[in-house]
Amino acid sequence: MLTAVACNRSASQVEIMNQEQMVSYLIQLHIAEAQVQNLRLKKDSSKVVFDIYERHLLEKNGLSDTLFVSSYNYYLEHPIELETIYEAVVDSISVRKSIDDVVK
């Protein structure tokens, strides 16, 4: 019984990014992905460039890939929260695109 409690306690104490952090990072990640796609590289080259870009974004945001993955997995298990996050991501990217279209 103590083992079950200890396991539950450690699982619930896993550090995750809050929703605002996830939104901010996912926006940056999706923009990076679009920028790499616009380079029109071969798939394997695109993967290499994107991986470098992703590492840069993690460092820039003071995140580890482990923290991002554990956070993403947490939100996958909490779909209502994940939906809220992605609504904010899509809205923000749409606004940025609209502003870019106006500026052009």
* Sequence-ordered list of residues with C-beta below 8 angstroms from that of 48, at least 6 positions apart, any chain: none
Query: What is the three-state SS of 69-81?
Result: HHHHHHHHCCHHH
| Mean pLDDT score, 83-94 | 95
Does residue 99 surpass a pLDDT of 70? yes
Q: Measure the N-to-C terminal CA separation of the chain; round to a whole number of Å.
A: 64
Q: How confident is the model at residue 12 (pLDDT cuts 50, 70, 90)?
A: low
Burial of 26 (0-12, 13-18, 19+ CB in 10 A): buried
Model confidence pTM above 0.85: no
